[in-house]
Amino acid sequence: MGILDNLLKKAPQSVKDKYKIKIKEKAIERVKEKLIKHNKKIDDYSHEEMEALIADEIGNLNEDVKKGVLTALLIAAGIEIVAGG
C-alpha cells in the first residue's frame, strides 16, 4: 500500500481518523449488502467471522482508493505531457 500509506502519513491525524471511519462504514455497508444478496443474516456469523468479512472489505476499499489515486496521478501526468509540461 505504498501510495496510500504515503498519503496518509502526510495527512493530519484528524484526516486519517475520518478516512478510517469512512472506510469502515463503507465496508460495513458492503458486507450488509452481500449478506442480503446471499439471503444471510448477521446472526448467521460469529463476531470473528463478521470482523474478518469487514476487514476483507476494508482491504478491497483501500485497493479501490489506491487505484483511483494512481489513475488521477496518471491522468494529471498525461495532461501535463500533452500540454507540453
Provide CB contacts within 8 A for 58, sequence distance 6+: 23, 24, 27
What are the extents of the domains in the chain? 12-82
Q: Using one digit for the tens of pLDDT, what is the confidence trace for 2-55?
A: 666 777 788 888 988 999 999 999 999 999 999 999 999 999 999 999 999 999
**What is the gyration radius of the CA atoms in the chain, in angstroms?**
17
What's the pTM?
0.77
